[in-house]
């Protein structure tokens, strides 16, 4: 996924995974954002091309992570932490999660999807059987 690599994610991928009602951003702006996300990931993970070529990372998983990151920005492009509005006796508010609202960032889940979840150990400290420890 180096600078010379073709883009792996498209605006169509974002629209297909968008679940928050109509997406009012045009495809050209989504493509720019996707380019920024992919560039950011290249800076964070220098071995993405290697992981893709040897099969440790699949195109579909990379695409899913890129769309997930882009969707966080699209849901809150202005970076609001909290929004409130009111009319008469009625009020409403929304609080946006995340440490960096409106910015491109990688969560622990994104990182796990990109670099793998690691091996799980089958070693045990002890086993319990009827009658006690063995």
pTM: 0.72
Contact 41, 114 (CB under 8 A): yes
From first to last of the 134 residues of the chain, give the pLDDT tens digit. Answer: 555 566 789 999 999 999 878 888 999 999 999 999 999 999 999 999 999 999 999 999 999 999 999 999 998 777 666 777 888 888 887 776 666 667 899 999 999 999 976 544 444 555 555 555 55
- Please state, in angstroms and as integers, the Cα–Cα distance from residue 127 to each residue in 108, 119, 120, 121, following that order: 31, 21, 17, 15
């Amino acid at each position: 996924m180096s600078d010379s690599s073709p883009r792996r994610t498209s605006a169509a991928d974002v629209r297909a995974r968008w679940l928050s009602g109509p997406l009012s951003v045009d495809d050209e702006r989504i493509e720019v954002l996707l380019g920024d996300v992919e560039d950011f990931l290249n800076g964070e993970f220098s071995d993405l091309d290697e992981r893709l070529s040897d099969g440790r990372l699949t195109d579909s998983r990379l695409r899913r992570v890129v769309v997930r990151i882009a969707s966080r920005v699209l849901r809150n492009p202005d970076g609001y932490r909290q929004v409130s509005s009111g009319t008469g006796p009625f009020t409403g508010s929304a609080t946006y999660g995340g440490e960096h609202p409106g910015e491109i960032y990688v969560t622990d889940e994104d990182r796990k999807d990109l670099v793998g979840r690691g091996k799980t150990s089958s070693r045990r400290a002890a086993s319990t059987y009827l009658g006690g420890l063995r």
